[in-house]
Chains A and B, each alone.
Chain A
């Protein structure tokens, strides 16, 4: 069960080129149509749509990070929302510090919620977040570090399959409980909000929103290329081998846990980046982002689009989130039926997702799907 030919070269299958082209085109066109085209025109993209699409792109990046580990290494993380939220909190802390004296209480240093809780000085872990480069570093480092510690513990002792899924879920659940506590110094229940500006640009202005959208599209495109590069490299082939037959790879002399750890940490960092792009566009981050249900929803985006294709994850995230926006507006009570039905239908009838099924129709090439080899514990 080796990779079929079109996964060997970086830009070879059509889907890759299309994905990159669409992302870059959107990154240019949407901001231009929003800012330069007058409001009455049929080509004008309204501002709310820019924000909405920007949010979708962040989710797509998150889905991409999950596909990298689940689709190519068989690690089903049900706690990836935790990395996303941590990245979001790191960015949120920077944005809080940018508010400065413009808060409700007008305190020069402390954010509003700390004044409200009668805190006297900034906790040590809030130091440095007023500098954007530092915050950006933390956006990547904090999720990466958590993934490193967690992954090192888990992979070293060969916790695999559903056990791993369950403890990742426990991890995000524990973090959710922790962030709900006021004593943690992250705003408790309400989280971080009331952001004013980023790098001096007001977050309320259309231009900043358009810029954030373009940045999201660009980061997504770059992350996509990076993931693509990794899965096409030799490392990527080992990862796929681990997915399909972990013990065999170990017997061949590969240090399986190192490969897993590498891809897990990288994936967490991408998720953190997605969270950091997400927060300024929606204007709030709260502990609800850590809820286990959110993390499982990410997995279904990947499953719908097609696991193990990268652009499948992007497509799935966009489609499912569009459906969510539409249904929660048009018929809220239908949404959970739809989402639940989607989980069941995709796993039973469409195990390779949309991209996989279309690809199968096109060239009838057998793709090394998620089915495990006989005798191996799967997934």
Chain B
């Protein structure tokens, strides 16, 4: 019924526009048929439905839909046919023939045009065939899917006709699916049914699997549901093929989920990795930088909502550099204000930055309040890409993967080719020597801390799209980010990439077997054990120092 609801909304829109051009004679006919719908006898009602559908008026779709949904009324006052939409205690009504809006009336002013189950079946079928000819491909797809689900035999000719006309490959596939399902369910001819099963094997989705499974299955008493063994065998074949396809799609979906989680971890962990690599400093306030980035997104979006609501889709493009600048500034401030005084004492730095994280959290809580703030998805990030049955990729996650890889690539290029990158690598490898060569190590430290914090801020922009923006946002990611850094090895961006992606994938693949929480525990234990084997991570920097 869900699909009918959606169908109704778009059809209503179409119908209303068409109604403005409705010739007077057609309107008179429709009015006559409407009277038929209100007859006492069900046969007369059925005849009226047939006539309405055969007339093929655009208005007929809206009327039949309203009839089906129980929203077709007659006003008690002037016995006019209206279509109502519920609004509080009463209804907003529109003239059924012309679509003219008539305002809001109470429940008592209307009389419902009654419908029964037999008529509902009839109307559903008629609606399906009416809309198979719709000029809108999306409406045709919905109509085909409606037929697919109702499997009405009398729709077969309409489907075949529509299939011949159809130019759009996507719609044609849906029509074929509906046709095959209808033939499988309703046809008496063995060859047709087997051919239908063969066709269905191309459609890897759970609904088709259910159809094939129903044919192949044994009944409760052990006798097959389908008496013909050849058809059963064909159904089993189809079923196996679909299940293979579904399993593969499920695997792909898991990979996508894993890569998506990995890209989030990557964004959160790169900044941590470079500050740890260059300065030997574990920044416990890193998660709060992510949180600040997310709140910057919130503020930017508020400004857009207030000043230029039409440009809301561009808000994220502004939020990314804004978040980078805000958090980088905070980062440089922290480095100059606190961390500078603690070099050579990594454990004390860890404690001081933890203190800063508490302060930042409480600050945000005091300014923005302790509850979640609403950050919107721009239109190009909402919705999903339906690749195949059982495999749907949401656009926001796709964009985050792209964004994470882009940030990673830019960072690799900066460190490899820029002057600052060269100095940074020099300081990482040998601070004393770099200093002797005239590199201002203090400046490099401040820049590195700013860069790491800025990347965390950009991670916050990404996270604001998939997670709740609250003062605790950073806390949820900080331990996982540590794990990525520790696993991948310090001071090596590729290690961070491999670490983040493998942690994301392992987490997602463990989830179906162990559950989300237990899976996470297993990953943590695995990393604790892994550290025993490689105390400096997967890709450790090799050096001659006794203690790195």
Could you list which residues of chain A lie within 8 angstroms of chain B, going by C-beta atoms?
76, 150, 153-154, 156-163, 165-167, 169-171, 173-174, 177-178, 180-181, 246-247, 292, 296, 299-300, 303, 333, 336-337, 339-344, 346-348, 351, 370-372, 376-379
Q: How long is the Cα–Cα vector from A344 to B348 in the complex, in angstroms?
A: 9
Tell me if B525 is interfacial: C-beta within 8 Å of chain A. Answer: yes
Decide: A177 and B361 in contact? CB cutoff 8 A.
no
Decide: A303 and B528 in contact? CB cutoff 8 A.
no
Tell me if B395 is interfacial: C-beta within 8 Å of chain A. Answer: no
Decide: A340 and B351 in contact? CB cutoff 8 A.
no
Decide: B517 and A165 in contact? CB cutoff 8 A.
no
Chain B, range 342-392, C-beta contacts under 8 Å to A? 342, 344-352, 354-363, 365-366
- In-complex Cβ contact of B346 among A158, A171, A246, A379 (8 A): A379
Counting from the closest, the 3 A-B pairs by CB-CB distance are A343-B355, A340-B358, A340-B359
Majority SS at the chain A contact face: helix
Most buried by A among B351, B360, B548: B351
Q: A76-B347, A163-B531, A181-B517 are in contact. List 10 more A-B contacts (CB 8 A).
A: A154-B532, A177-B520, A333-B362, A339-B358, A340-B354, A341-B355, A344-B338, A344-B356, A371-B344, A379-B347
Contact pattern, B 527-545, Cβ under 8 Å of A = 1, otherwise 0: 1110111011000000000
Decide: A167 and B486 in contact? CB cutoff 8 A.
yes
Decide: B347 and A339 in contact? CB cutoff 8 A.
no
Residues of B within 8 A of A371 (CB): 344-345
Closest Cβ neighbor of A248 among chain B residues: B546
Closest Cβ neighbor of B548 among chain A residues: A377
Decide: B524 and A344 in contact? CB cutoff 8 A.
no
Decide: B527 and A158 in contact? CB cutoff 8 A.
no
Whether A340 contacts B346 in the complex (CB less than 8 A), given A163-B531, A166-B282, A173-B479, comes out as: no
Whether A154 contacts B346 in the complex (CB less than 8 A), given A174-B525, A178-B521, A376-B547, comes out as: no
Decide: A339 and B532 in contact? CB cutoff 8 A.
no
Residues of B within 8 A of A351 (CB): 345, 348
Contact pattern, B 222-238, Cβ under 8 Å of A = 1, otherwise 0: 00000000000000000
Decide: A340 and B350 in contact? CB cutoff 8 A.
no
Q: How long is the Cα–Cα vector from A372 to B521 in the complex, in angstroms?
A: 35
Decide: B351 and A167 in contact? CB cutoff 8 A.
no
Residues of B within 8 A of A342 (CB): 355
A91 smallest CB distance to B (angstroms)? 24
Closest Cβ neighbor of A302 among chain B residues: B351
B369 smallest CB distance to A (angstroms)? 11
Residues of A within 8 A of B525 (CB): 174
Q: How long is the Cα–Cα vector from A341 to B352 in the complex, in angstroms?
A: 9
Q: How long is the Cα–Cα vector from A177 to B358 in the complex, in angstroms?
A: 22
Decide: B345 and A344 in contact? CB cutoff 8 A.
no
Decide: A343 and B351 in contact? CB cutoff 8 A.
yes
Could you list which residues of chain B lie within 8 angstroms of chain A, going by C-beta atoms?
276, 280, 282, 284, 338, 341-342, 344-352, 354-363, 365-366, 479, 482-483, 486, 517-518, 520-521, 524-525, 527-529, 531-533, 535-536, 546-548
Residues of B within 8 A of A246 (CB): 547
Decide: B547 and A247 in contact? CB cutoff 8 A.
yes
- In-complex Cβ contact of A158 among B276, B341, B354, B535 (8 A): B535
Decide: B347 and A166 in contact? CB cutoff 8 A.
no
Residues of A within 8 A of B548 (CB): 377
Whether A341 contacts B348 in the complex (CB less than 8 A), given A167-B531, A170-B527, A377-B547, comes out as: no
B541 smallest CB distance to A (angstroms)? 14
Q: How long is the Cα–Cα vector from A297 to B102 in the complex, in angstroms?
A: 67
Decide: A370 and B351 in contact? CB cutoff 8 A.
no
A292 smallest CB distance to B (angstroms)? 7
Decide: B352 and A343 in contact? CB cutoff 8 A.
yes
Decide: B535 and A344 in contact? CB cutoff 8 A.
no
Decide: B350 and A76 in contact? CB cutoff 8 A.
yes
Closest Cβ neighbor of B339 among chain A residues: A348
The contact sample of 25 A-B pairs, CB cut-off 8 A, is A76-B350, A157-B531, A159-B535, A161-B346, A162-B276, A162-B280, A162-B347, A163-B486, A165-B282, A177-B521, A296-B351, A299-B351, A333-B362, A333-B365, A333-B366, A336-B358, A336-B361, A337-B359, A340-B357, A341-B355, A346-B351, A347-B349, A347-B352, A348-B352, A379-B345
B482 smallest CB distance to A (angstroms)? 5
Residues of A within 8 A of B356 (CB): 340, 343-344
Decide: B362 and A337 in contact? CB cutoff 8 A.
yes
Decide: B531 and A372 in contact? CB cutoff 8 A.
no
Residues of A within 8 A of B361 (CB): 336
- In-complex Cβ contact of A156 among B518, B529, B532 (8 A): B532
Decide: B546 and A247 in contact? CB cutoff 8 A.
yes
Residues of A within 8 A of B350 (CB): 76, 162, 165
Decide: B359 and A336 in contact? CB cutoff 8 A.
yes
Decide: B518 and A378 in contact? CB cutoff 8 A.
no
Q: How long is the Cα–Cα vector from A354 to B360 in the complex, in angstroms?
A: 26
Q: How long is the Cα–Cα vector from A344 to B339 in the complex, in angstroms?
A: 9
Residues of B within 8 A of A167 (CB): 486, 527-528, 531
Closest Cβ neighbor of A183 among chain B residues: B518
A327 smallest CB distance to B (angstroms)? 12
Q: How long is the Cα–Cα vector from A156 to B355 in the complex, in angstroms?
A: 31
Residues of B within 8 A of A158 (CB): 535
Residues of A within 8 A of B531 (CB): 154, 157, 159, 163, 167
Whether A169 contacts B345 in the complex (CB less than 8 A), given A340-B359, A343-B358, comes out as: no
Residues of B within 8 A of A346 (CB): 351
Residues of A within 8 A of B359 (CB): 336-337, 340-341, 344
- In-complex Cβ contact of A169 among B280, B357, B479, B520 (8 A): B479
Whether A343 contacts B354 in the complex (CB less than 8 A), given A163-B531, A170-B527, comes out as: yes
Residues of A within 8 A of B524 (CB): 170-171, 173-174, 177
Residues of A within 8 A of B342 (CB): 347-348
A20 smallest CB distance to B (angstroms)? 29
Whether A303 contacts B351 in the complex (CB less than 8 A), given A159-B535, A348-B338, A378-B344, comes out as: yes
B59 smallest CB distance to A (angstroms)? 58
Whether A170 contacts B535 in the complex (CB less than 8 A), given A247-B546, A336-B362, comes out as: no
Decide: A159 and B344 in contact? CB cutoff 8 A.
no
B522 smallest CB distance to A (angstroms)? 9
Q: How long is the Cα–Cα vector from A177 to B365 in the complex, in angstroms?
A: 25
Q: How long is the Cα–Cα vector from A162 to B354 in the complex, in angstroms?
A: 13
Decide: B482 and A153 in contact? CB cutoff 8 A.
no
Decide: B338 and A165 in contact? CB cutoff 8 A.
no
Decide: A170 and B517 in contact? CB cutoff 8 A.
no
Decide: A162 and B355 in contact? CB cutoff 8 A.
no
Residues of B within 8 A of A162 (CB): 276, 280, 282, 346-347, 350
Closest Cβ neighbor of B533 among chain A residues: A157
Decide: A153 and B355 in contact? CB cutoff 8 A.
no
Q: How long is the Cα–Cα vector from A96 to B465 in the complex, in angstroms?
A: 45
